Structure formats: structure tokens, C-alpha cells
Structure 1
Amino acid sequence: MAGIALPAALAAAPIVLILLLMLGLRWSAAHAGLAALALAALLAVTAFDFGTTAAAGAQAGGWHDAVGVAAEGGFLALTILWILWPALALHRLQENSGAIATLRSGLGRLSDAPARQALLVGWLLALFFEGAAGFGTPVALAAPLLVGLGFAPVQAVVLALLGHAAGVSFGALGTPVAAQVALTGLGAVEIARTTALLHAALGGVLMLFFVRTLAANGASPGFGWPALAALGFFVPSLALAAWLGPELATLGGALIGALVFVAALSRANRRPVAAGPGDSAASGELVRAISPYLVLVVLVVATRAIAPLAALLGEAALSWQLFDRYQGKMSPLTHPGTLLMAALLIGARLQRVALQDVGSALAHAARQLRPVTVALLAMLLLSRLMLHGGLIDALERGAVAGIGSAWPWIAPAVGALGSFVTGSATASNVLLTTLQAQTAQALALPSVVIVAAQGFGAAVGNIICPHNIVAGAATVGLAGREGEILRRTLLPCLLYLALGGAAVAGLVALSW
């Protein structure tokens, strides 16, 4: 046991360092990731013999391994940044063109009941923007909207955090799952289906706390409207994940749920949504405002559901291999980033936005990605170094020996810890998915279930992530009061993780 414990402790040191630097010293993810990367490199060379021909088990060794790790990490970073760049540019263009303002005013006309408005904005709209852009966009958008609708700033941020959480697993057109697929080689549909099943089974917990927060603000929605909002998202989200994979599970589920909710509001008002003078024109403006997202839905469905088209586009796959050990692969024509870029350009054309404004939005998004790029690259390099350097193997052996068959119960909490530390479900998946997969294999557990548990936990970890809380608080003028928000989101997070562990253990038992 001692022979396993020491290597496991050394292998855990880079992750512990991230915790200490980010939580104790409040370092950024980029700086903490770089420091952890340096420590991991030192440990890999001195304690795990990384870089020697014997350790590599192939002809690679020395500088070959350094080049291989850098190539894998850099390639994965580029595939993820290609998603983030057009996603952030699209959101920027929507803001600058007035589409977001149009969307805001259109939502306000649907109902004068604060609780119903909150469900539409804080739950369905937040989920929609999580699916389209992710990376903090839903909270930054929904919280100010909720304040504008009359909610107290603290409650507004809490509602936005709770409302978007279940969709984070498939945020930014499925980016977190794309990272898991790249790291494990498991099927995207299989991971997405299991992850969506966990959220669908337990997502009512988030809605209960959402309703509780509404009631604390004096807005009681009753039972029917929250149930409609929850089911309106989770049912189509699960169906889309099982049918197409991760790309539309949040975006499409939120869009369908919003349409159902709006139709129910119209029926409750006993009049068509567009009834008064000028309402038809307003409805046309609203359609134009969401046209890029409608284009995106069409493109994703076409490239996933039309088999001949998917096969034709998939033939353009790019792949490479170095030193018989390091490799990477992507399909550029079906990649979510390519589809997002197409939706951005086509949507801009439909909205009659000048090409110069599109270029300005892309340039602004590129500037936004500078700090993200450093953090993402640091985490990806750390992940690949820990994998190829033997640190993940040591952690896996320590986990098997110390936790054993109880691992399914804590697998979601591991994912949440990663999000809490890194501020991103994608970064959590990048950092910890390989550990989860290898531990599953060593314990003879179903890899898909354990990897899905990682993504499930990484999503809910966003509601207690300091970065999300700080960003959300800043948008509504709550700087310095972040602790009030954390106290309101900690219990929902812990309960969701505990129930998630039980659900994962149940799925494992059924698979046996």
C-alpha cells in the first residue's frame, strides 16, 4: 500500500497546487495552471522517469516526449478555441446589432407575472445562451435582465447560476463533451446520452431551489409553470443527446422548451402573442434577432442527422501522429466551431449586418480569448503531461487502492472540484476525464458512465465556481458581496452532487 500511496501523493501534487494557488492565494487559472505544469514536469522527469526511452515504451524519448505533449496539448487547444472564437463573436455581434435588446423587450411582453418572466429568462434563456456560447455568457446576460425585471441583485445572480447549470455539460455547442471524446476516444453520443440522463433524472432539484429563490423574492410561481419549464428543457435535451450527441442537447432543448413555454403563456393570456398593432412587425424583429441560432440548429441537425451528408463531410478529417505515441484528429467541416462560424456569417447576412461589424466582433472575441487561451493551454498541457508522464496512472492506482468500488459515489464530486478550481466545465473535463476513465477501467466499471459522471459534476460545479460568482456579481453591482451568493448556491450544489453519486452508482449496478 505504501508503494502506491507515495507515487499517488506526488501525482496529486500539481492538482493540490492549483487548489492552493487559486483558492488560497487567488491566482488566476492561467498562472496557477502554468505553475502546476512546471511542477508536473519536474515530477514527471524526476519521480516518474518521463522522457526516457524505457519509460516511453517506444522509440520516443527525451525531447521527443516534450514535443509530443506540446503537440497534443496545442492541437486540443486549437480545436476548442475554434469553438469559442465564433461563439463569443456571435454574442458580441448580437449585442452590437441590437438583437439582444430586441430579445429582451420581446420577452418582457410575453407575461407581466414576475415568476413566469424569471422562469423564461433565468431558466430557459440562460440555458439557451449556455448552449450557444457558454463560458459565463448566460450569467452575465440573464442576471442584469432579471434585475431589470425587478428582482434583487443577489437573487438575480443566484437564479442565473441555478438556471443555466444543467446545460453546462453541453455548453458552447457541446464543447465539454468534445474535450472528453478527444481525451478518451469514447463515443460522443454515448457520453452525451448518459450525462443528459443524469441531469434529466435530477434536474428537478435545481428547479426546486430556483423556485425557492423566487419565493424569497416574493414571486411564487406555483407548481405548474416550473414543472413546464423543467420538463420543457429536460425531455428534448435528453432526446437530442441520445439522437444527435452533445452539440444540440442544451441549445436545442432550451429552444424547444422556450417555444413550449411561450405557447403556454400565450394560451394563458387567452390571446395570440402577436395581437396588437405593430406586434407582427415586432415578431418579425424577434425572429431576425434569433436567426443566427436558428441557422445553427439547422446546420447541426443537417450535419448529424443526414447520414450521406455527414459521411461526405466527415471524409475531410484531419489526423496526425508523432513518434508512434502522440496523435490528434478532427473533422473540420463538421466541427462545432465551423458550424458556429457559418451561423455567424449567415445570421449577419439575414440581419443585414455590415461585414465590417462582423470583423469587429471577431476581433473583440479574439481579444477576449487571450487570457482564456493561456489558461486552456496550460490545463491541456498539464493534462497530457500527467497522462503520458505516468502521473494519471499513479493517481488511478491510488484511487483504486484507497476508494475502490465506492468511486462511482464520488465521481461527480471530482468533476465539480475541477470546475470549482478552474472556473470551467471544459477545463475540468480536460484535467480530470482521463483520470476518471482510467480509474473506471482499473475497477472494471463502465467507462461511459464514469466519464459522464465527470461531465455531470463539472456542470453543477459552475454554480459555486468563484469566477462565475465574481463575474455575475460584477454585472449587477455586487462587487464585494460574492459570499452572499456562494452561501445560496453551495447547498444546491452539494445536494445535487450527492444525489448524482447515488444515481451513478445505480447506473453502474444496472450495467453489471
Structure 2
Amino acid sequence: MQALAAGAPLAAILALMLGWHWSAAKAGSVGLALALAIALLVFGFGEAVLPDLGPARAVGFSVAEAAFTAATILWIVFPALCLYEAQERAGAFGAIRGALARISDDPRTLALLVGYFFALFMEGAAGFGTPVALAAPLLVSLGFSPLKAVALALIGHAAGVSFGAVGTPIIAQAEITGVDAGAIAVRTAAMHAVAGIVLVLFLLRLAADGPLRRIDWGLALLAAACFFGPSLALAALAGPEVPTLGGALVGLLLFAPIARRIAPRGSAPGAEAMDLRALARAVLPYGVLLALILATRLLPPVQEGLRAIALAWTLEGGFSGRFEPLYHPGTLLMVGFLVGVAAHGGGLRDVLAAMGAAARRLVPVVAALFAMLAISRIMVHAGMIGTLAQAAAGIGPLWPVAAPAVGVLGTFVTGSATASNILLSEFQAATARALALDVTPMLAAQSFGAAVGNIVCPHNIIAGGATVGLAGREGPVMRLTASACLAYALAGGLIALAFVR
């Protein structure tokens, strides 16, 4: 009975978002009210659980923890959106997209260049829906139907979502579970590296008008190796911030010259000369960001000096928070944003314009993020997550096979891999402990599933479809992407099972 009550807030969010098409913020608010009522009335939060605090302080401390964690995550989202707005206004994305399209005019190669590498790069740099919104219109301009364009972008960027927006989903996992972010990053990257060829083959098959050719299998293996090899190495060396951003950048530099030589070609991809200076200005902020992240993660003296400055607090009952402003990826993103504005000859007016636009886009994110975090913290501290974990442990040693599906469900419901991780990581960790399994692979399975959930996430499909005139036709897009999601989640479950044995 308690397990049913503990799961009611999550079930309510699922029903409201899928059945009644509520936003994450509205559904999260109802879920929060329900979680609070169940925590107090069924689980005795502040009385039977943490009796020394009392209900008011127990709830207040949970809300404080949620608000603090939300602020640290928003400090990544805001500068990422600032950078995106500045680059969009300066025409930087046009230079990047134009350079990619000149490498080949073969549709399958273009699908890899734009729907895969470009979308992955944008996921690593900005995340939060921008890859599909940017890649889909470009794919349409290159000759793909709007339906295919959205589906290609959804499938192509999915493997990078675990480390999207400079590692936000895994950083959030580490914040709320206390497990080292670097350890989660390595296991997650390894899972994607093993299974990643599945998504690439789905992407090429969708881009093709007929069956895959022998050259397509070679291109798929090449593209997968070029991204997942550097991505896994960066996860091991530097942590969760750069595997997608750096992997896409390095992978593209490796893939492009080879593809230009071996990919089938029709007519020339364009006669006009490439503006190398414009391209250099366009990629400069990302290069600076990548260099800063690598320097702060790989050089111990720099790392120790930056982490020495911290805002940390602890409250009675195990409530706590910590923010390292100089080491935080959001601060590094802000530097990249300012460099980008300067590279395009902008000034204070351009900085403020980008910040204003970013702030307006941030407003609807705040309520949803806080609601999901508050639900997570209340359910954790009230013992509701532990109760759910004990119930799930009844599945037994085969639970790892189902673990990625939980992450998929979380992203499908919330519209965000970060929100999915916030909502369900404690559940995954508690289930692992109940089954005496290693926690880190189970958190990696959660992150893996949360990433692939973006393939079928209604929010992503709606946003991407809107950019190419597909409003109201989300169902056909989901039908194109559902099989890829199912296959990838199943592959992840089998890999997770192997990791815990």
C-alpha cells in the first residue's frame, strides 16, 4: 500500500502530461502538492521520519535544498542560452551549417554531418531543445522532407543528451545522489560507445530512399567511432562536461575529410568560396569553452585553486548544498559567451540583448525545474523513494535490463533528461542498494535511458516540428523514431546487466 502511495506523484505527473497534455510546470506543481500530502500524511515526514525536525522544518529544508540545486543548474542553462542567442544573432550558426553542407551532397552523408555531428555539437554546447530546432530546418534546406528532418535530428542527437548543455544531466545526478560525477560519466559514455552504432544505423536507414549500401555500413562505423571514441576518452579524462561537445567537435574533424574522399557525390555542393574567417569566429567561443573545461579538469593546481572558493551549507537532518562558482561549468559558459560576442565585434548592447532573450526563454524552465527538484527532495527525505526501490527490487537481478526504460519514461514525461535524472536517480540508486548492485552502473543506465527518451519526447517533437511547419503532426514523427528508441533502450538494458555482473 505504501509503495502505491509513494508512486502516486509520479503517476499523477505521467497522467497529466500524457492524458491531459499539461506542461511540466503545471503537472509538476500538482505532483509536488501530492508528494507533500503523501509525505506528511502517509509517511509521517517530520514526525515518524526525521522526528527531531518537525513537519514544517522538514518540508522547509527540502524546499531549500531544491531551490539551491535549481539555482546551480540554472547557472548552466542561462549562460548556455546566452551563448546560443548571441551566436544566432551574429549569424554564426549559418557559417557552421554552411561549412558542414559543403563536404558532400550525398543525402546519407549530409544526414550524418548535420543530423548527427552538428546536432550532437549543439546538444553539447546548449542542449535543452536547441539541436533539433537548429538541425531540422537545415536538413529541410538540404532536401529532406520536414517529417524526415525532425526524425533525423531527434535520433542523431540522442546519444549526446547524457552530457548535454556541458554535462547538466549528470551533474544534476551527482548533486542529488552524492555519487562522483566522473564515475557516472565514464560508465554512461561506455554504454553509449557500445550501443551507439544502433542509432547511427537507424539514422542512415531513415535518410536512405532504399536499403543500406556497403558504403553506408562503412560510413556508420566511421561516424560512430569518430564520435564515441573521443567522447569516452573525454569522459574518462575530464568528467561529464565535455564528452558530447568535445566528442562532436573532434569527431567531425576526423570524419569530415574522410567522408569527403569516400562518400558518394552528385553535383558539386556549392561554388561559392567558404568564408574561413566567419567560420573561425563562429567556432571560437566553443573552442575557448572546450579549452577552459579541459584546463580546469586536467590541471590539478588550477582545479584546486578554483574549487577552493565555494558556497556550502549543511542543515540538521542531512540537508546540504555546495556551489563552486569559479569551477562551475556555467561560469565557463559565460566566458565563452562573452568571447563569442567580442569575436563578432559586439559590445555591451549585444551582451544585454542576448541576456534578455535568454532570460525570457528561462522563465518557463524555472517553475518546472523547481517543481521536479522539490518532488525529488521530498520523496527522498520522506523515504518514499526507498519504498519504491524496495518494491522494484522484487523484479530481482534482472532489474538492470529495465533501468534504462525508467529513464526513457522520465524524459518522455518531463521533456528533459535533466528532469528525468533529478526525479528518478535516487530511485535507481536505492533500487541498486536494495538488490546489492553497484550503484554507479545503475545511475549510468538511468542517464542512458533519459538520453534516448529524447527521441520520443513530445516536447522535443513539438518544438522541432514547429520549426519546419509540422505543427499537429507529431504522431507520424514519433512513429518514425519509436523503433530506434525501443532498440536503443533494450541494448542499454543488456549492457547495464553486463556491467553489474
Question: What TM-score does the superposition give when structure 1 sets the normalisation length?
Answer: 0.94
Contact 1:33 1:378 in 2 (8 A): yes
Instruction: Check if 1:496 corresponds to 2:497.
Output: no
Q: Could you say which residue in structure 2 is the equivalent of 1:384?
A: 377
Please point out which of 453, 457, 464 is paired with 1:465. Answer: 457
Aligned pairs (5 A) from 1:245-284: 245-267=239-261, 279=273, 282-284=275-277
1-structure distance, mates of 2:348, 2:408: 41
Q: Could you say which residue in structure 2 is the equivalent of 1:356?
A: 349
- Matched to 1:445, the amino acid is L
SS at match of 1:167: helix
- Matched to 1:45, the amino acid is L
Q: Could you say which residue in structure 1 is the equivalent of 2:65?
A: 72
Please point out which of 141, 165, 185 is paired with 1:192. Answer: 185
Q: Could you say which residue in structure 2 is the equivalent of 1:398?
A: 391
Structure 1 stretch displaced more, 209-218 or 115-124? 209-218
Instruction: Check if 1:181 corresponds to 2:174.
Output: yes
Q: Could you say which residue in structure 2 is the equivalent of 1:3?
A: none
Instruction: Check if 1:141 corresponds to 2:120.
Output: no
Q: Could you say which residue in structure 2 is the equivalent of 1:373?
A: 366
SS at match of 1:444: coil
SS at match of 1:490: helix
Instruction: Check if 1:430 corresponds to 2:444.
Output: no
Aligned pairs (5 A) from 1:20-99: 20-52=15-47, 54-57=48-51, 59-99=52-92
SS at match of 1:403: helix
Q: Could you say which residue in structure 2 is the equivalent of 1:109?
A: 102
Q: Could you say which residue in structure 1 is the equivalent of 2:111?
A: 118
1-structure distance, mates of 2:258, 2:110: 13
For residue 95 of structure 1, report the CA deviation from its aligned partner: 0.8
For residue 324 of structure 1, report the CA deviation from its aligned partner: 4.0
Please point out which of 441, 444, 452 is paired with 2:444. Answer: 452
Contact 1:115 1:219 in 2 (8 A): no
Contact 2:119 2:132 in 1 (8 A): yes
Please point out which of 315, 321, 324 is paired with 2:314. Answer: 321
Q: Could you say which residue in structure 2 is the equivalent of 1:287?
A: 280
1-structure distance, mates of 2:261, 2:397: 51
SS at match of 1:48: coil
Question: What TM-score does the superposition give when structure 2 sets the normalisation length?
Answer: 0.96
2-structure distance, mates of 1:133, 1:456: 19
Gaps of 5+ in 1: 1-5, 270-275
Instruction: Check if 1:234 corresponds to 2:228.
Output: yes
What is the CA deviation profile of residues 113-155 of structure 1, one whole-angstrom value per residue up to 9, with x for unaligned ones?
Answer: 2222221110000000000000110000000000000001111
Instruction: Check if 1:207 corresponds to 2:200.
Output: yes
- Matched to 1:129, the amino acid is M
2-structure distance, mates of 1:355, 1:294: 22
Contact 1:155 1:217 in 2 (8 A): no
- Matched to 1:325, the amino acid is G
Q: Could you say which residue in structure 2 is the equivalent of 1:441?
A: 433
Contact 2:341 2:350 in 1 (8 A): no
Q: Could you say which residue in structure 2 is the equivalent of 1:272?
A: none
For residue 323 of structure 1, report the CA deviation from its aligned partner: 2.1
1-structure distance, mates of 2:100, 2:153: 16
Q: Could you say which residue in structure 1 is the equivalent of 2:237?
A: 243
SS at match of 2:313: strand
Q: Could you say which residue in structure 1 is the equivalent of 2:327?
A: 334
Instruction: Check if 1:16 corresponds to 2:11.
Output: yes
- Matched to 2:241, the amino acid is E
- Matched to 2:359, the amino acid is A
What is the CA deviation profile of residues 412-471 of structure 1, one whole-angstrom value per residue up to 9, with x for unaligned ones?
Answer: 101110000000000000000001011111111000000100000000011011111111
1-structure distance, mates of 2:418, 2:42: 29
For residue 219 of structure 1, report the CA deviation from its aligned partner: 9.2
Instruction: Check if 1:167 corresponds to 2:148.
Output: no
SS at match of 1:445: coil
- Matched to 1:257, the amino acid is G
Structure 1 stretch displaced more, 472-481 or 246-255? 472-481
SS at match of 2:241: coil
Contact 1:295 1:347 in 2 (8 A): no
Contact 1:114 1:219 in 2 (8 A): no
Contact 1:139 1:472 in 2 (8 A): yes
Change (3 A) 1:440 1:161: same
Change (3 A) 1:197 1:219: closer
SS at match of 1:209: helix
- Matched to 1:47, the amino acid is V
For residue 263 of structure 1, report the CA deviation from its aligned partner: 2.2
For residue 268 of structure 1, report the CA deviation from its aligned partner: 5.0
Percent identity, aligned pairs only, is 53
Contact 2:228 2:247 in 1 (8 A): yes
For residue 217 of structure 1, report the CA deviation from its aligned partner: 7.7
Contact 1:70 1:381 in 2 (8 A): yes
What is the CA deviation profile of residues 6-35 of structure 1, one whole-angstrom value per residue up to 9, with x for unaligned ones?
Answer: 100100000000111000010000000000
2-structure distance, mates of 1:22, 1:262: 41
For residue 111 of structure 1, report the CA deviation from its aligned partner: 2.0
Change (3 A) 1:15 1:316: same
SS at match of 1:216: coil
Contact 1:83 1:340 in 2 (8 A): yes
